[in-house]
Amino acid sequence: MAFDRNTNYNTSLPLCFFTTNAANTSSVLDTDGDELRTGVPYYAVSAIRGGGGGGLAIGHSKEEACPEIVVQRGSDLDRGIPVIFSNADGQNGAVVQLSSDINIEFEPIRTKLCLTSVVWKLDNYDVSTGKWWVTTDGVKGEPGATTLNNWFKIEKMD
């Protein structure tokens, strides 16, 4: 997954995932090589151009309309809906670090079927597949036992 800063113009950018090491921490970088920052909208797009998928967006499961689920668009040309990262203290402009706890939310949109938050969470465990769904209606901030399913980490893959 690569992160392309949300801009009002369409440009061709290399789609890759970068990190930088400094003092035992690794900053997550966007496709321009800039550090990912909390509170800033980014498109989460496939790191493999032509890999058969676009950006992330809000979708619906076949079983239930709400909560909405996080889906990947089918076309590389569809960048989806921008996502915004936040950390535990809610400070905007902080650098997103690799392996740090973050909330992820879609940039608010006007047309939504469900009256839920756009914050991501793990929900609806599927026993048959042994997998969780990433849905909306999570809680932003408020770290604790009741919000564990609302926290995500960006990890480096070898």
Tens digits of residue pLDDT in 116-147: 899 999 998 889 999 999 999 999 999 999 99
Domain 1-6+25-157 in CATH 2.80.10.50? The answer is yes
Separation of alpha carbons 77 and 51, rounded Å? 11
Nearest CA-CA partner of 30 in 40, 21, 100: 40
pLDDT by residue (tens digit) across 62-110? Answer: 888 888 999 999 888 899 999 999 998 888 999 999 999 999 999 988 7
The mean pLDDT value of the chain amounts to 83
Q: Residue 132: CB partners within 8 Å, gap ≥ 6?
A: 122, 123, 124, 125, 126
Query: What's the predicted TM-score (pTM) here?
Result: 0.81
The structural domains of the chain, with segments of one domain joined by +, span 1-6+25-157
Separation of alpha carbons 105 and 99, rounded Å? 18
Residue 56 banded pLDDT, cuts 50, 70, 90: very high
The token pair at 108 is 């608010």
Single-letter amino acid, residue 47: A
pLDDT by residue (tens digit) across 6-15? Answer: 543 332 223 3
